[in-house]
Amino acid sequence: MNMANKLKIKKGDLVQVIAGARESRGGDRGKQGKVLAVYPERNRVLVEGINRVIKHKKATQTQAGGTAGGRETHEAPIHVSNVALVDPKDNKPTRVGYREETVERDGRNKTVRVRVSRRTGEEI
């Protein structure tokens, strides 16, 4: 994996949209949602309830004999630069930093990198 594609946002994180049209104008800026999937090769993330698009599905014959078609709404991926991780302490968007900590496991010291909030310094 190329280091240029290493993202600081992971699946399951709570993020806030920081770019685009405001909610009052029909956009998603200011909304928060959980990351459902991360696409590092395209620098995009899929966020629950954000960037919803309508897909039209053609009515086709199913096995049971019914026809399933119409309009379906799905979330579309959004660029990672348009979202910011939400600080768990004060529920506001923050940048992500890393801190190295030594943890003792099975009697041996091991250095691990942990993600920290730049806003409060709290571990994420």
pLDDT in tens, 110-120: 899 999 999 99
Would the pLDDT of 1 be above 50? Answer: no
77 Cβ neighbours under 8 A, 6+ residues apart: 37, 39, 42, 44, 45, 46, 51
Please give the mean pLDDT across all residues of the chain. Answer: 90
What local confidence, expressed as pLDDT, does residue 10 receive?
94
Query: d(Cα 29, Cα 80) in Å, to the nearest integer?
Result: 14
In angstroms, the CA 27 to CA 85 distance is: 19
Give the amino acid at 8.
K
Position 37 scores a pLDDT of: 96
Residue 124, pLDDT above cutoff 60: yes
Task: List, in sequence order, every beta strand (DSSP E) within 18-86.
Answer: 32-39, 44-47, 52-61, 67-75, 78-79, 83-86
> Could you report the per-residue pLDDT of 16-66, keeping only the tens digit for each?
999 999 989 989 999 999 999 999 999 999 999 999 999 998 888 777 767
Quick one: DSSP state of residue 20? Answer: S
**Total-model pTM:** 0.81
What residues have CB less than 8 Å from 34, skipping those under 6 apart?
A: 12, 13, 14, 15, 47, 48
